[in-house]
């Protein structure tokens, strides 16, 4: 499986406040970004997989909502996570 508990702990440890920090906006954005990149690769191989395309669109929307929330609350944290993940905005 592409996303096991060890990989989640690694993501949360790198972007969150600790390995058990699953609720902060940064850790959730990082997890969504990892899942989005995996699904994007899947969609390149399987263009007609509409259920995965719908799930990918939902994940992108959730990540965008979290980024908007973080931008309105703390612009410095927003800029740090965007730079760390290499997002366009």
- How far apart, in whole angstroms, are the C-alpha atoms of residue 32 and residue 58? 10
pTM of the model: 0.92
Q: What domain range is 17 assigned to?
A: 5-85
Express each pLDDT in 5-23 by its tens digit: 999 999 999 998 888 888 9
Q: How many domains does the chain have?
A: 1
Give the residue carrying structure tokens 């990082």. Answer: 30
DSSP class per residue in 34-87: HHHHHHHHHHHH-TT-HHHHHHHHHHHHHHHHHHHHHHHH-HHHHHHHHHHHT-
Express each pLDDT in 36-89 by its tens digit: 999 999 999 999 999 999 999 999 999 999 999 999 999 999 999 999 999 975
CATH code of 16's domain = 1.10.287.10
């Amino acid at each position: 499986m592409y996303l096991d508990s060890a990989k989640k702990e690694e993501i949360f440890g790198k972007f969150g406040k600790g390995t058990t920090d699953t609720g902060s906006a940064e850790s959730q954005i990082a997890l969504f970004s990892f899942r989005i990149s995996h699904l994007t690769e899947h969609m390149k191989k399987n263009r007609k997989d509409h259920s995965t395309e719908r799930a990918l669109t939902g994940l992108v929307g959730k990540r965008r909502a979290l980024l908007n929330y973080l931008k309105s609350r703390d612009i410095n944290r927003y800029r740090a996570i965007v730079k760390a993940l290499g997002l366009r905005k």
